[in-house]
Amino acid sequence: MTANCSIHGATPHDAPLIAPLVGELLQEIMAAIGIPAFNFELADTTARLEEFLAQGKYFVFFAQTADGNPMGFIALYESHALYAEGSFGTIAELFVRPGFRSQTLGRRLLGQARELGRARGWKRLEVTTPPLPQFDKTLAFYENQGFAITGGRKLKGVL
């Protein structure tokens, strides 16, 4: 049960606890889509997360059991756009380990993100999920939390 967990705002010191969860998330996504879409190196991800947190570029909340076992995390960053009427937050990653799902932990992590957004004066939170049947449960979770499909697809380009 998630009742025996704590949720904390992450500091650079917490990166070694959170980075392995990023790897688990990416592995789960790649298994679902059958494509090696991500490169993951634990040491690189840990260092990058430490840097992002130290520079205030990234906001992470993570959940742990009473004995310190990481359960999940949510990561977001601030964006700015005219269409959004100002500053807003983008959820980059949200992951709850399978053994802790369906116990309100995802909702609680999202609640922390909303609190941060209100404190920073954000107009909204945005998130992208793949438009694939494998992610219907993810889409349903976000819709149950008040998110609405606004159209579009996430694209990436090489620099």
Handedness of CA 91, 50, 115, 78 (dihedral sign): negative
Report the C-alpha gap between 41 and 102 in whole angstroms: 29
pLDDT in tens, 123-135: 999 998 877 888 8
pLDDT, tens digit (0-9, with 9 covering 90-100), for 87-114 = 999 999 999 999 898 889 999 999 999 9
pTM given for the model: 0.91
Domain ranges, ordered by start, for the chain: 2-144
Q: What is the per-residue pLDDT for 1? A: 46
**152: pLDDT strictly greater than 80:** no
Average of per-residue pLDDT values in the chain = 92
- The partner residues of 6 in beta bridges, in order of sequence, read 64
> Average pLDDT for residues 19-26, to the nearest whole number?
97
Could you tell me the pLDDT band of residue 116, with boundaries at 50, 70 and 90?
very high
In terms of Cβ atoms closer than 10 Å to its own Cβ (0-12, 13-18, 19+), residue 22 is buried
Say if residues 142 and 131 touch (Cβ distance below 8 Å): no
Q: How far apart are CA 117 and CA 142, in angstroms?
A: 16
Asked if pLDDT for residue 3 goes beyond 70, the answer is no
Return the biggest CA–CA distance within the chain.
45
Answer CATH for 2-144 from 3.30.360.10, 3.40.50.2300, 2.60.40.10, 3.40.630.30: 3.40.630.30
Write the pLDDT tens digit of every residue in 43-90.
999 999 999 999 998 999 999 999 989 999 999 999 999 999 999 999
Q: What is the pLDDT of residue 9?
A: 97
Count the Cβ atoms, other than its own, within 10 Å of residue 94. 21
